Amino acid sequence: MSGSCRMFLHLHAIPRWLTWLRRPALEQLQTASLGMAAVPGMAAALCLLLVGQAIAQPSPAAGLAAQPGVIEGRVMDADTGEPIAEATVWVDTAKVGFFGGKFGVTPGQPSDGFAESGEDGAFTLRGVPPGKRSITAMAPKGIFNEARLSRQVGPGQTLGDCVVRMRNPASVRGRVVDEKGEPLAGVQIHLVVEEYHAGKVRQYLRPGGMSDENGEYQIESAVAGRAVRLMAERVARGAEASADSNAPIDPKLRRPAFSRVFYPDAPDLQGATVLKFRSGEERGGVDFVMRREPSRCIAGKLLAPTEVKGIRVMLQHAEPAYGSTRRGGSFGMTWSASLDGRREFRICQLAAGRYRLRAHDTAEGRNAAISAYAAEWITITDRDLSDLEIPMVAPWKLSTELEWAAAAPEAPPTQPTMVALEPLDRAFFMGEQRNARIEAIPGRGEMGAVLVDEYSVSVRLPRSGPSAPGSGAPTSPAPGLYVKEIRYGDAAVLAQAMRVGMQPADTALKVRLGHDAGTVTVRVTDQKRNPVSDAQVFLLPSDAADEGALAETLLRGQTDQYGSVTWQREVAPGSYRAVAILTNFDYSPEAVRILWQARDRAPEVRVAPNGNAEVGVQVVQQ
Amino acid sequence: MHPYGCLLLMLALIATPIALAVTIEGQVLRDDTGAALVSADVRVARQGERLLAAHLETDRDGRFRAEDLPEGRYVLTIGKPSFQDVALELPVDAGPIQVRLIRLASISGTVRARDGSLLANARVYAMERTRSGSIRELNMAAASAFSKADGSYQLRGLPPGNYVLAMGMQGNNRSMGAMYPDNRSPRIFELKGGEVIDRCDFVAETGEVFKVSGKVAIPEHLAKTRVPSGPPGATMDARFSVGLAPVDQPMLQVAWTRTEPDGSFEFPAVPWGSYELFAAGPVIGFSFRGSMLAGDGALAFGRMPVQVTADVRDLAVQVQPPRTVRLQWIPGRASIADCPKTLAVRLTALEARGSDLTRLVSLPLGDVVTVENLAPTRYQVETASAAAVCSVLGAAELNLRNGQPDEPVTVEAAGHGSLAGEVLDRLPGGIYEVALLPLGVAAGEAMTLQTVDAQGKFRFAKLRPGRYGVAIRLQHGGGYSEGVGERTAGLVSSITEVEVLGGNVEMLLHAPVAEGTANR
């Protein structure tokens, strides 16, 4: 088989019903989709993840408070003020999931805390357990198109006027032609977004569309309300997608390649026009002209240990690329192909540019670990690259140590801590082992097969609870816990990318936890001292060195109907600035810059160990 | 230079064969209109060599040209999105050639509710109608599309074959499934190439819907199942898949869901009608064919009729053990010389069940192989892969709805075959070209062209078992199709269907009677 691109599940091609998955499930789906790029026949694994998500929904809300409340409200378009019908709305205690082809209430279970908005956007959530409740609305259009509210619900209370404002995705149409004006089919149109992740601004691709035989494309779910750029890229097909290309030796006898084009006509992101779509906007005439250029080949050999049998090789452009982020990156079709037992590769139909070539052995057996891996930058200029020799190295065993930053608490957590590495510009591969489960603190775990690559570190603190009424499993971190420091050798990687391979092989990943987090309440008012509900509130560490560090370390919340938000024993001791804004926050450079600039004028909050602090702020006028 | 040096050099030059440069050139046209096809992909390969000699694209006039190629026999593969690929072997000394590409078919229309409102996000899909009359889902991107906001849909790039069209929608407010134009007598689309069929409009039943709920009696020994991809020995609560299909069209999936661990389930919005409910489990995930069953463990299946005229509650679904069938591959009349020692067959369920019931089985020649864990449904026994050199003969169907056969079910297969023919009524001096299109399971693979020899003979060798369409045209004369306009363009009246199942098939073709018109 030549490359296996056609079997990959691309987000653009995901049927609409998959958009009904809850975010965590779809994030796993995204990951799994590129996992399929890495390993043929991975569809099953993807599906297993999905059913795992559905099965993992909280158990019935048994034992809810005797006097549940009611939440009434409407789902409205943030730009037009029009009602949004058929939005799915639920509270955090509702038992929901992906069932029978659609996101909804678990069959056979009560529909407490779940509703769909009517033609006028109105919804009524009944049977809502009293307490601090999170309300999520998901629009019928778009992927991940959710908005949330926070509300305090008293026993038997009926809350009215809960207005969820959200945007419908925009529709973008255009045409792709070559330099002669002829339509080009099979050109992938991507949305490119920028956001802070692991300490710096990174570019990620989001779902787009594909040109048809008339060169026409349409993107049905272009994200509205944030800065995006558009990029056109021709997708390799058939034999072009082989890692053993049969392209002619003579470059003059090869079919030309097409280089990436950024809208309207730029070779790189810097020259691209920034677009911002309104909710539900139908934007036409977003046309591209793609130009032919000589097709280049790269050829070489992967230097793999003799015991390695199968190898899968992947090639993708340097940024913008598919990649993982907790806040909007996505995975899609990445070129990949099997070497069918060979070590040699020849990949053609490449335009000049910078690429990332990766390869790993295809481990046998469902739970077998990857035993050899390579990741190399390849820069193609005006000629073929041949005789490349790319060493494959064994994954690292990464010792992961967990300890208290100070003396241990009197009642240490009983649940385990999970430490995971999230690859920054690729999806996970089957056979990676980059998670460590550490049962006690202090304690040690091991990540069994970490590929030499770039990651962000995520820590899932020990749970305690149950925190949500009726839920069977603890879902919130134990009170007072926070991650104080993560070090990998001499590198601090709490808010920075971690490069495995840049430290000696026996270097441990050290995570230090604090248990003296304090409580902070922020009350938000307008200029007339009236409480402001639904404001986005941030606690910004005063010592954040730059915008990248700020984006990684900020704490984020949303005010309830009383204009108040509380972080209950979640805030590490230290100095913070409290900022409130009324616009959506998406970790884009523009959004982070607003916070960065606002912090000088923002009131300081000092949080003592195990302390309580309260501060009043006014919303920042943008 | 040595006095004899020059002479030696001359002798050496004389003794060395001079490699002649070859030029390959031609033009690619659209078959139904004769228009030039721009940016078609032309791959030129010298016979026996893996690397292409040239990889070209056609210009604005549909022309391509590769010069200074080494002498030899060449094979061309020509393609363009939405057109059937063509493969042809170039005769030595071939001059400029003309290749006509047949457009793949498209079907379009709208999905509306009874009140005339347009319905978005309905899945419209083509299913294959096999020669035996069965209907089966296709694993093909072109075979499925979702209706847009204006209710319109379009299936593009359908290769030749026989299809029926279906529409489905599932959600909290409504679940539905319907054939076009209706379930009792679905229209059969006999696509031969290039048809542009529009106005296939679905009218969705949007009347009252009802809740259907009940409980599957999950046997105690199946209450736990393994955790997919989990550590050895890890188990989780078992759930069953439950599907609803109309009695009059069992391949339509109207609704499906999974039970809770206690077996309870609910379909929130089922239209009025007669259905068969099917339960299967335990499930460990789902694929695009439905829920995936724990294939390496014990299974159970349940089936019952459900009449929906109001809310249906408290359905008690009993389950039964799976069926077991013994299969045996036996030598038959057809040659199996090309076949491997083990035949790979696939058992494909012919009724939509909400579960992926497909099974792959390896049959060593002569051995009786026991296949367990089969559902009480109808299966088609077929070749596992369209690319297989050895194919299951006939349309073997297993009906396990009411029991299982006591005796082994025999399967026959065939290896490569050939197709030879003669063209009658040729025009003096006329050069004819015969096209061979794969149909059925292999539809979409490249069409093969061959020039008829001076005696009017042609022969296609090493053909994988299967159905083919044969068409003929006068070179430089016209297309395969009748060319009477977009809507009916294609090979509708000029194709001859043959089946090659090992051995040689012989046929007679009549030459086209006039330019641009193929014989009937």
Alpha-carbon gap: A181 to the closest alpha carbon of chain B (Å): 10
In angstroms, the CA A189 to CA A218 distance is: 9
Chain B residues touching A184 at Cβ < 8 A: 39
Tokens standing for residue A536? 């986005």
In angstroms, the CA B326 to CA A84 distance is: 57
pLDDT of residue A19: 28
Kindly identify which residue of chain B lies nearest to residue A18, measuring between CA atoms. B288
Residue B333 has pLDDT above 90, yes or no: no
Whether B170 sits inside 8 A of A100 (CB atoms) is yes
pLDDT of residue A575: 97
Alpha-carbon gap: A266 to the closest alpha carbon of chain B (Å): 24
Kindly identify which residue of chain A lies nearest to residue B49, measuring between CA atoms. A246
In which element (H, E) is residue A591 found? helix A589-598
Residues B286-328: tens digit of each pLDDT:
665 667 787 666 889 999 999 999 999 999 999 999 999 999 9
pLDDT of residue A593: 95
Tokens standing for residue A220? 């049905």
Q: What's chain B's average pLDDT?
A: 82
What average pLDDT does the segment A170-197 reach? Answer: 92
Residue B202 has pLDDT above 70, yes or no: yes
Query: Look-up: residue for tokens 């490569």?
Result: B416
Fold agreement between A65-166 and A396-514: yes
pLDDT of residue A327: 61
Chain A residues touching B235 at Cβ < 8 A: none
Residue A535 has pLDDT above 90, yes or no: yes
Kindly identify which residue of chain A lies nearest to residue B238, measuring between CA atoms. A55
Q: Please state, for a pLDDT cut of 70, what percent of chain B lies above it.
A: 84
pLDDT of residue A51: 36
Q: Looking at the DSSP assignment, which residues form a beta bridge with residue A103?
A: A98
pLDDT of residue B267: 87
Residues ≥6 apart with Cβ < 8 Å to B63: B25, B26, B27, B28, B36
What pLDDT band is residue A560 in, cutting at 50, 70 and 90? very high
Q: Please state, for a pLDDT cut of 90, what percent of chain A lies above it.
A: 58
Interface with A, mutate which of B258, B270, B356, B360 (most A CBs under 10 A): B258
Residue A93 has pLDDT above 50, yes or no: yes
What average pLDDT does the segment B501-511 reach? Answer: 86
In angstroms, the CA A230 to CA B460 distance is: 48
What sign does the CA torsion over B105, B111, B116, B120 have?
Answer: negative
Give whichever of A263-277, A306-320, B206-220 has the largest mean pLDDT.
A263-277
What pLDDT band is residue B346 in, cutting at 50, 70 and 90? confident
The answer to whether the CB of B251 falls within 8 A of the CB of B351 is yes
Whether A48 sits inside 8 A of B146 (CB atoms) is no
Tokens standing for residue A460? 């899932």
Kindly identify which residue of chain A lies nearest to residue B283, measuring between CA atoms. A51
The answer to whether the CB of A584 falls within 8 A of the CB of A568 is no
pLDDT of residue B501: 80
Phi, psi of B104, rounded to the nearest 5 degrees: -75, 155
Interface with A, mutate which of B46, B82, B172 (most A CBs under 10 A): B172
Whether A107 sits inside 8 A of B268 (CB atoms) is yes
Whether B292 sits inside 8 A of A107 (CB atoms) is no
Q: Of the candidates A44, A99, A239, which has its C-beta nearest B258's C-beta?
A: A99
Chain A residues touching B239 at Cβ < 8 A: 55
Residue B19: exposure state from Cβ atoms within 10 A (0-12, 13-18, ≥19) = exposed
pLDDT of residue A437: 92
Tokens standing for residue B119? 């319905």
Q: In this structure, which topology does domain A65-166 adopt according to CATH? A: Immunoglobulin-like (2.60.40)
Chain A residues touching B45 at Cβ < 8 A: 246
SS3 A96: strand
The answer to whether the CB of A40 falls within 8 A of the CB of A4 is yes
Q: Of the candidates A50, A186, A366, which has its C-beta nearest B286's C-beta?
A: A50
- Our measurement of the distance from residue A311's CA atom to the centroid of its chain's CA atoms, rounded to an integer in Å, reads 28
Q: Which of A563, A567, A535 is nearest to A554 (CA)?
A: A567
What pLDDT band is residue A29 in, cutting at 50, 70 and 90? very low
Q: Which CATH number fits domain A170-391: 2.60.40.10, 1.10.1370.30, 3.50.50.60, 3.40.50.300?
A: 2.60.40.10
Whether B81 sits inside 8 A of A185 (CB atoms) is yes
Alpha-carbon gap: A253 to the closest alpha carbon of chain B (Å): 5
On whether ipTM exceeds 0.85, the answer is no
What average pLDDT does the segment B19-40 reach? Answer: 87
What average pLDDT does the segment A355-371 reach? Answer: 81
Q: Of the candidates A52, A102, A184, which has its C-beta nearest B171's C-beta?
A: A102
Domains in chain B, CATH or no CATH each: 3-101 (2.60.40.10), 105-203 (2.60.40.10), 209-317 (2.60.40.10), 323-414 (2.60.40), 417-510 (2.60.40.1120)
Residue A176 has pLDDT above 60, yes or no: yes
Give whichever of B10-14, B94-98, B139-143 has the largest mean pLDDT.
B94-98
Chain B residues touching A116 at Cβ < 8 A: 172-173
Chain B residues touching A114 at Cβ < 8 A: none
* CB-CB neighbours of B332 under 10 Å: 16
pLDDT of residue A20: 29
pLDDT of residue A331: 56
Residues B349-365: tens digit of each pLDDT:
888 667 778 888 999 99
Tokens standing for residue A549? 């560090």
The answer to whether the CB of A332 falls within 8 A of the CB of A12 is yes
Interface with A, mutate which of B215, B270, B278, B286 (most A CBs under 10 A): B286
What average pLDDT does the segment A255-279 reach? Answer: 93
Residues ≥6 apart with Cβ < 8 Å to A59: A95, A470, A471, A472
pLDDT of residue A278: 93
A287-297 burial, b if ≥16 CB within 10 A, otherwise e? bbbbeeeebbb
What pLDDT band is residue B64 in, cutting at 50, 70 and 90? very high
* CB-CB neighbours of A580 under 10 Å: 26
pLDDT of residue A475: 64
B322 or A6, higher pLDDT: B322
B463 or A300, higher pLDDT: A300
**Where along chain A do its domains lie?**
3-57, 65-166, 170-391, 396-514, 518-618
- Our measurement of the distance from residue B102's CA atom to the centroid of its chain's CA atoms, rounded to an integer in Å, reads 17
In which element (H, E) is residue B5 found? helix B5-15
Chain B residues touching A55 at Cβ < 8 A: 236-237, 239
Residues in chain B: 520
What pLDDT band is residue A362 in, cutting at 50, 70 and 90? confident
Query: Look-up: residue for tokens 């090979």?
Result: B491
Q: Which of B71, B73, B67, B10 is nearest to B47 (CA)?
A: B73
In total, the C-beta contacts within 8 angstroms joining chain A to chain B are 123
What pLDDT band is residue A101 in, cutting at 50, 70 and 90? low
A34 or A545, higher pLDDT: A545
Q: Which CATH number fits domain A518-618: 2.40.50.140, 3.30.420.40, 3.40.50.720, 2.60.40.10?
A: 2.60.40.10
What pLDDT band is residue A59 in, cutting at 50, 70 and 90? very low
Measured CA to CA in angstroms, residue B37 lies from A125, B44, B432, B480 at distances of 59, 18, 22, 16
Residue A467 has pLDDT above 50, yes or no: no
pLDDT of residue B20: 67
Alpha-carbon gap: B228 to the closest alpha carbon of chain A (Å): 6
Residue A22 has pLDDT above 50, yes or no: no
Residue B14 has pLDDT above 70, yes or no: no
A616 or A622, higher pLDDT: A616
Alpha-carbon gap: A220 to the closest alpha carbon of chain B (Å): 9
Q: Which of B23, B164, B18 is nearest to B90 (CA)?
A: B23
- The C-alpha angle with vertex A35 and arms to B356 and A463, in degrees rounded to 5, equals 95
Q: Of the candidates B66, B255, B284, which has its C-beta nearest A100's C-beta?
A: B255
In angstroms, the CA B265 to CA A107 distance is: 6
pLDDT of residue A129: 92
In angstroms, the CA B251 to CA B138 distance is: 12
Residue A326 has pLDDT above 70, yes or no: no
Whether A107 sits inside 8 A of B266 (CB atoms) is yes
Whether A186 sits inside 8 A of B288 (CB atoms) is no
pLDDT of residue A115: 92
Residue B485 has pLDDT above 60, yes or no: no
In angstroms, the CA B354 to CA A277 distance is: 40
Q: Which of A19, A223, A5 is nearest to A102 (CA)?
A: A19
Laid out side by side, the sheet with A604-607 consists of A555-558, A536-541, A574-581, A604-607
Chain A residues touching B104 at Cβ < 8 A: none
Residue B409: exposure state from Cβ atoms within 10 A (0-12, 13-18, ≥19) = middle
In angstroms, the CA B363 to CA B341 distance is: 8
pLDDT of residue A468: 45
What pLDDT band is residue A153 in, cutting at 50, 70 and 90? very high
What average pLDDT does the segment B187-211 reach? Answer: 85
pLDDT of residue A505: 85
Q: Which of A40-49, B74-83, B508-517 has the lowest mean pLDDT?
A: A40-49
Q: Which of A62-66, A82-86, B57-61 has the lowest mean pLDDT?
A: A62-66
Residues B105-160: tens digit of each pLDDT:
899 999 998 888 888 888 899 988 877 777 877 766 668 888 887 899 999 888 88
What average pLDDT does the segment B209-216 reach? Answer: 91
Work out the widest C-alpha separation in chain A, in whole angstroms. Answer: 79
CATH number assigned to the domain covering A396-514:
2.60.40
pLDDT of residue A455: 92
Residue A556 has pLDDT above 90, yes or no: yes
Whether A366 sits inside 8 A of B121 (CB atoms) is no
Chain A residues touching B53 at Cβ < 8 A: 248, 253
Kindly identify which residue of chain B lies nearest to residue A252, measuring between CA atoms. B54
Residues A521-530: tens digit of each pLDDT:
999 999 889 9
Q: Of the candidates A116, A178, A253, which has its C-beta nearest B55's C-beta?
A: A253
